[in-house]
Structure formats: structure tokens, C-alpha cells
Amino acid sequence: MRLAGIHHVALRVFDLDEAAERWSRQFGFTVRERHDDRVLLACAFEDYSLELLASGERPGFDHAGWELAPGEGWGDRGGDVEERPGGRAPSLHLADPDGYGVELVPWTERDDPFPDVARRSTDLPPFHPRKLGHVNVLTQDVRRLAAFYVDELGFAVSDRLGDEGIWLRLNADHHVHAMLEKDVTHFHHFALELRDIGEVRLLLDHLARHGRWVVWGPGRHGVAASIFAYIRIPEEELIVELYCDMEQLLPGHEPRDWEDTPHSSNTWGTLPPRTYFRFDAEAIELERGQLQALGRAPS
């Protein structure tokens, strides 16, 4: 099976109208379609990159959508074939070994082959992310999880960080999926690409006005080489990474084994705080109240 890249991330939310308005206003998404049970949002001119699903269950990550390469199908692969909104071709839903949702989306022909900056628009906001770039999850068995994506879905390994991290690619971007081995299983973050560090600064200023805070960053990853900043989203129990300047891999790239050192994670400085890998109420309060920096965090 050949996949072209990441297509969208789907989140479960309690209130569709509130969530759609919040993600649009704070992160610059544009609403593509509204349905009774979901809202589809886009960064720029793509089909859609964020799917919000009305749900009475716990809010949070539901699945990641991966686009098949042109002319590629899923054959007799097991899973549930489901209709997609807006008359789009059906997709295949399955789950990875950790239970994270996976949707295989048929290739969509592009209407306009020209760069986005050369197109005209009447609905794009003045500021918006360039694209949805990748997802990152926490797992209790990183090798098992990576093997599923490599062996079953055709991903390739970009790099490894000691025994704890594996980064996977589908195209020239250093990675479209990453996984870190921890003692919990939880969706960690999805990442939005911005054009340069100036745009990262602009969005950080904007998010600060809306009460968002940086969990870790700005910094520069050794693995992937990207400039990063991570933003806490308590409403959906996840983090959003803002990044730019990711390493572009050449054809024939061979996976590298990075030493598990602070420099590999952040060439500019420190490792993330302990709350970076937590999504409980105490972790959020520690960050919101700056209790770690003030020396009042529980031991």
C-alpha cells in the first residue's frame, strides 16, 4: 500500500459550534462544511485537515486520516468502509495496535496546481497555518506500534531516539507520524506547519491573547531539525505543535540512531517539563499557575 501523506486529524468534541468557532478563531482554520454530526475545517486550500465530531463521550483524539497515493486502493484489507460527508468517496476505518483510529482516504484530485500564494480567495482569514504536518502519540510499546505502520501501511522509518522514540515518514518531510515510549498510552499532539519563525511568533502572540500557554519552547529539535513551540489544549486533552523549518529528507534516506540526550531533543536548551507528557487536571494546574517555576509543584 502506498500513502501520499497525512490528510486530517479528527477530534471528538461536546459542542460542535463552540469547538468550530474556537479552532477557527484561535488557530486560523476555515470551516469547509457543516453537518449535523461533524464540522470540517481547513488550513488553506486543501480538502480539509481538521474534523470535529459531535460526541457525548470523553473529548479528544478520534483518528488520523491518511491519503492513499493516486490510483491506490486498500484491496481486501480488513476494516469498516464508511461513507464520508459531502459526497466524497468512502474511506476505510481501522485501528492500530494501541487502539488509535486510522482512516484511509482515497486520493482527491487537486483542482488547482498552482501554489497557494498565487491563488485568489474570498474566505481565507488573514493568517492561517500552512498545513497539517504530523501527529505524535505516547505508547507503551514503541517498536510494536511502529511495526504496524511500516509493515501494514507502508510508512518508512526516518530516525530513532535511543529505545524511546521512532519517527516515520511518507514523503520528503522528516516525519508525518512519531511515537514515544512512556508508561501511558495517549494521543500527544498534532502539528501545524508555519512558514518561518516570524509566523510562529505571530501565532504565539495571538494565542496568548486567548489565554493559551506554551508548554515547551520555542526551541529547535535535533531530530527533524524543526523550530517548535507546544501549546496546551485542555478542552480536547491534547497539545498542538507549531513548527517550521523541518528537515527535508533525500530519496534513499537511511534511518539514523540519535543519542537520547537533551541536545537531540532541543539544540537550543532544555528538555520539556514533566507535565509535557501528562494530560491530567493537576498537570494543567501546574502549568497554568506556573507552580513548577515558582518551586511549589508537588514532589
What whole-number distance in Å separates Cα of residue 53 and Cα of residue 19? 10
Same domain, 152 and 33: no
Nearest-10 crossing angle of helices 197-209, 16-27: 130
Same domain, 21 and 154: no
What's the pLDDT score for residue 113?
83
Q: Record the cell numbers describing residue 292, joined without a space.
A: 513548577
| Residue 148 domain-assigned (yes or no) | yes
| Residue 299 domain-assigned (yes or no) | no
| Residue 273 domain-assigned (yes or no) | yes
| Residue 241 domain-assigned (yes or no) | yes
| Residue 122 domain-assigned (yes or no) | no
Number of domains in the chain: 2
53, 61, 218 from 37: Cα distances, Å: 6, 16, 36
pLDDT tens by residue, 151-207 = 999 999 999 999 999 999 999 999 999 999 999 999 999 999 999 999 999 999 999
Domain final residue pick, 77, 108, 139: 108
Same domain, 94 and 163: no
Give residues with Cβ within 8 angstroms of 230, minimum separation 6: 189, 214, 215, 216, 217, 239, 240, 241, 242, 272, 276
Residue for grid cell 459526497: 87
Same domain, 143 and 201: yes
Domain final residue pick, 52, 76, 108: 108
Same domain, 47 and 192: no
Residues in the chain, pLDDT under 50: none
Same domain, 251 and 186: yes
* 101 closest CA partner among 142, 155, 64, 152: 64
Q: What share of the chain is helix, strand, coil (3-state, %, to 5)?
A: 20, 35, 45
Same domain, 93 and 144: no
| Residue 89 domain-assigned (yes or no) | yes
Same domain, 101 and 136: no
Query: Sign of the CA dihedral 263, 268, 270, 272?
Result: negative
What whole-number distance in Å separates Cα of residue 232 and Cα of residue 41? 20
Same domain, 146 and 11: no
Same domain, 12 and 58: yes
What whole-number distance in Å separates Cα of residue 241 and Cα of residue 214? 10
**CATH value at residue 268:** 3.10.180.10
Domain final residue pick, 63, 93, 108: 108
Angle at 123 between CA 117 and CA 124, to 5 degrees: 40
| Residue 117 domain-assigned (yes or no) | no
Determine the structural domain holding residue 178 and report its residue range. Answer: 131-288
Same domain, 258 and 197: yes
| Residue 114 domain-assigned (yes or no) | no
Long-range contacts of 54-58 (CB under 8 A, 24+ apart): 54/13, 54/14, 54/16, 55/12, 55/13, 55/14, 56/14, 57/12, 58/12, 58/237
Residue 88 exposed, middle or buried by CB count within 10 Å (0-12, 13-18, 19+): middle
What's the pLDDT score for residue 24?
97
Task: State the DSSP H helix or E strand holding residue 101, giving kind and residue range, or none if neither.
Answer: strand 101-105
pTM: 0.96
Give residues with Cβ within 8 angstroms of 3, minimum separation 6: 66, 67, 68, 69, 72, 104, 153, 154, 155, 170
What's the pLDDT score for residue 299?
58
Same domain, 138 and 90: no
What's the pLDDT score for residue 75?
85
Q: Which amino acid is at 21?
A: E
